[in-house]
């Protein structure tokens, strides 16, 4: 019998920096200061530096980063936001929570928005493009940035999966008005609970975001706008600081695992992920495609190997977004991807032995 190989192992990522993480957590527990204190400020400073942004504002989650970004930009009811069809549903919720309408565009072969299909979707109501750097690969930013300039659109980036990925040497999250990050435990930079942040070069946006995350107040008990409770807490910030300091290593390890898959997988039934010229990939997921997905999942399962589908139901076909009125067949490429993608086991601390077993099984399939 084999030990099971799971699609993700968060314990491995913890063990690697266990001592440092535990020391940081203890420091906060003993400090008596738990919300919006020195650890959050220090993390915000470090993450702004990491992305090369003027400002970072820590928040409670990636979804909050998205919805508050559109809130700060004044995008809401009656406005349209362009976003790719094949994304995690949170990207779309960040738009619709504000009352704005998502306009869905098909993806390219790299699973990011097809920049050539955006212009035809722009109307007088279009206010912004939300770019999702899905699976960790930076999108085709030159074209998108030009479209935003041409039509005076705001540009928001969903970087929940792309910490440190770059296009043309520029880090994702810094191309537009606001970059939105999640530090959910399974993300490349993961906390030990929910956490998120935005980055921006615009001082006004950063200031507004700090207000919105704290009930719409700058001065305690004097509320200027109807805000949220979306504060990053000290404990998460302290532990994130540890991981952020090791981010180069964390990303390098994921790249090494991805490179080994790409080098050693040889099976005509599998379509391996490709990387666009001029961009980098930080491999939040290693996503293959196959027309025999059901059989492959069962085959791997019998051999103790777990996989995940990111994502089986595209937002436009989800029950939640039935009201948008999309039908099956409206987004053919998005739907084809939803029916054929499969994420292979990929995590920091994955051993070479574990990966070789996955590769052998996939080649035998």
Binding site for ligand PLP (CB under 6 A): 61-63, 87-88, 90-91, 132, 158, 160-161, 182, 184, 194, 196
164 versus 300: smaller Cβ distance to ligand PLP = 164
87 versus 174: smaller Cβ distance to ligand PLP = 87
64 versus 80: smaller Cβ distance to ligand PLP = 64
Cis link prior to 311 (omega < 30° from 0)?
Answer: yes
5 versus 191: smaller Cβ distance to ligand PLP = 191
90 versus 270: smaller Cβ distance to ligand PLP = 90
Distance CA 294, CA 307 (A): 11
Give the tokens for residue 269. Answer: 């039934």
102 versus 196: smaller Cβ distance to ligand PLP = 196
Distance CA 32, CA 39 (A): 12
Q: How far from the centroid of its chain's Cα atoms is residue 350's Cα?
A: 21
Q: How far is the CB of 45 from ligand PLP (least distance, A)?
A: 21
Q: How far is the CB of 90 from ligand PLP (least distance, A)?
A: 3
Q: How far is the CB of 160 from ligand PLP (least distance, A)?
A: 3
Q: How far is the CB of 347 from ligand PLP (least distance, A)?
A: 15
Distance CA 255, CA 253 (A): 5
* Lookup result for tokens 């070069």: 201
Q: How far is the CB of 30 from ligand PLP (least distance, A)?
A: 27
63 versus 359: smaller Cβ distance to ligand PLP = 63
88 versus 347: smaller Cβ distance to ligand PLP = 88
Torsion sign, CA atoms 25, 55, 216, 77: negative
Please give the helix or strand (H or E) that residue 199 lies within, else none.
strand 196-200
Q: How far is the CB of 165 from ligand PLP (least distance, A)?
A: 12
Using only C-alpha atoms, the chain has a radius of gyration, in whole angstroms, of 20
Q: How far is the CB of 181 from ligand PLP (least distance, A)?
A: 8
Distance CA 103, CA 91 (A): 12
Q: How far is the CB of 9 from ligand PLP (least distance, A)?
A: 18
Distance CA 37, CA 107 (A): 41
Q: What Å distances lie between residue 225 and 11, 95, 177, CA to CA?
A: 41, 19, 21
* φ, ψ (nearest 5 deg) of residue 140: -80, 80
What residues have CB less than 8 Å from 323, skipping those under 6 apart?
none
Cis link prior to 106 (omega < 30° from 0)?
Answer: no
Distance CA 310, CA 61 (A): 19
């Amino acid at each position: 019998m084999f030990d099971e190989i799971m699609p993700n192992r968060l314990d491995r990522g913890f063990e690697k920096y266990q001592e440092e993480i535990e020391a940081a957590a203890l420091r906060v527990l003993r400090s008596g200061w738990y919300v919006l204190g020195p650890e959050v400020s220090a993390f915000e400073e470090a993450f702004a530096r990491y992305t090369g942004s003027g400002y970072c504002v820590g928040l409670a989650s990636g979804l909050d980063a998205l919805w508050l970004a559109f809130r700060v930009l004044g995008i809401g009811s009656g406005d349209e936001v362009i976003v790719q069809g094949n994304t995690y549903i949170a990207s779309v919720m960040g738009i619709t929570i504000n009352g704005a309408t998502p306009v869905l565009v098909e993806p390219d072969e790299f699973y990011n928005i097809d920049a050539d299909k955006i212009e035809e979707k722009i109307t007088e109501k279009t206010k912004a493009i939300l770019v999702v750097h899905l699976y960790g690969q930076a999108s085709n930013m030159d074209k998108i940035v030009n479209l935003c300039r041409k039509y005076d659109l705001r540009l928001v980036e969903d970087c929940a999966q792309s910490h440190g990925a770059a296009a043309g040497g520029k880090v994702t999250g810094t191309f537009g008005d606001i970059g939105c990050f999640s530090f959910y435990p399974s993300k490349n930079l993961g906390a030990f609970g929910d956490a998120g942040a935005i980055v921006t070069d615009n001082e006004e946006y950063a200031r507004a975001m700090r207000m919105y995350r704290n009930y719409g107040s700058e001065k305690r008990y004097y509320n200027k706008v109807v805000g949220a409770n979306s504060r990053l807490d000290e404990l998460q910030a302290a532990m994130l600081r540890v991981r952020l300091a090791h981010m180069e290593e964390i990303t390098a390890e994921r790249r090494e695992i991805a490179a080994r898959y790409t080098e050693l997988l040889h099976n005509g039934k599998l379509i391996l992920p490709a990387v666009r010229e001029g961009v980098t990939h930080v491999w939040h997921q290693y996503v293959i495609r196959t027309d025999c997905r059901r059989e492959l999942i069962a085959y791997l399962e019998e051999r103790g190997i777990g996989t995940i589908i990111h994502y089986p139901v595209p937002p436009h076909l989800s029950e939640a977004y039935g009201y948008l009125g999309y039908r099956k067949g409206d987004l053919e490429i998005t739907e084809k991807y939803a029916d054929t993608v499969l994420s292979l086991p990929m995590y920091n601390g994955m051993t070479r032995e574990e990966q070789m077993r996955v590769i052998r099984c996939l080649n035998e399939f």
